[in-house]
Amino acid sequence: MSFAIQGVYCAAATPLKDDGTPDLRLFGAHARALLDEGCHGVALLGSTGEAASFGLCERMDLLEAALRAGVPADALLPGTSVPSVTDTVALTRHAVQAGVKGVVMLPPFYYKAFSDEGLFRFYARVIEGVADDRLRILLYHIPMLTGVPISHSLIAMLREAFPDTVVGIKDSDGKIENMQAMSARFPGFGVLAGADPLLLPVLQAGGAGCITASSNVVARELRTVYDHWNDPARADEVRAAQDTIVAWRNLTNAYVQLPTVKTMLARRRGDLGWLNIHPPFTPLSEPECEKVWAEMARLESI
């Protein structure tokens, strides 16, 4: 089945300068490299990209930096949601006017204990505020951070009202059963796994691909799984790629994931500027960095 948004997308980390502002040059180079390494596209400014720690202008600047670096607009999936409808409309309109493939949109996450009807109204106001037929939205289900789950009933409401706009979901809750159920219930609605090891089972369930943190460092292996998962002649190759993905994903979780991913990128990209991170996160300690880098060297030698 074909989906409006499908493939291997990197939940790209965002490099920072020492003063905490985004390093636009380094980010552009990273985004370009991710495509060269096998990603179909770059999902910038999500959880791994520290989106909630940037201002609106910085977020727009990062999107434009990727474009200047030669990343095609239709390979970009920026996160554009904040609790304010007005600011979400502004970020989303900027992205759509730049020609992006789609946007990844969290539910409003400050207030809690509201109904699906309230969430529907938030998304409806954003869609109507952007007022552009080119808009394609991936919902973002990550209740461990937002405290606001995306229910199947909400998806049904949005699909009925905006079938050409609300085209899929990134599910980062880690429950393959939910991804399987969405794929079965909503034909043509692209379900993308938010955890690297779940790409294979999501594809087997009729899903659309993945948006993951570990693709910052294992894009090639994820692309191997995506391209050949259903080819019996490549089963051994897919199995080996899956084992590699799991090993690297486990390494990203050796410490707090976000600073660990950035530590891995400092070695992979050859630039210690990648160690910078927004508070409340803190960089890994020097001994922790050395352990991560040693394990990277071991995995690379296999």
Query: Which residues are marked as active site?
Result: 140, 170
Amino acid at 280: P
Round to whole Å and give the CA distance between 162 and 156: 10
Q: Which two tokens stand for residue 165?
A: 């706009």
In order, the DSSP letters of 51-110 are: GGGS-HHHHHHHHHHHHHTT--GGGB--B---S-HHHHHHHHHHHHHHT-S-EEEPPP-S
φ and ψ of 6, to 5 deg: -150, 155
Q: How far is Cα of residue 242 from the mean position of the Cα atoms in its chain?
A: 19
Nearest residue to 202 (alpha-carbon basis) of 222, 231, 221: 222
Q: Is 256 exposed, middle or buried (0-12, 13-18, 19+ CB in 10 A)?
A: middle
Residue 211 annotated as part of some ligand binding site: yes
* Gyration radius of the chain over CA positions: 18
Task: List binding-site positions for pyruvate.
Answer: 48, 211
Task: List binding-site positions.
Answer: 48, 211
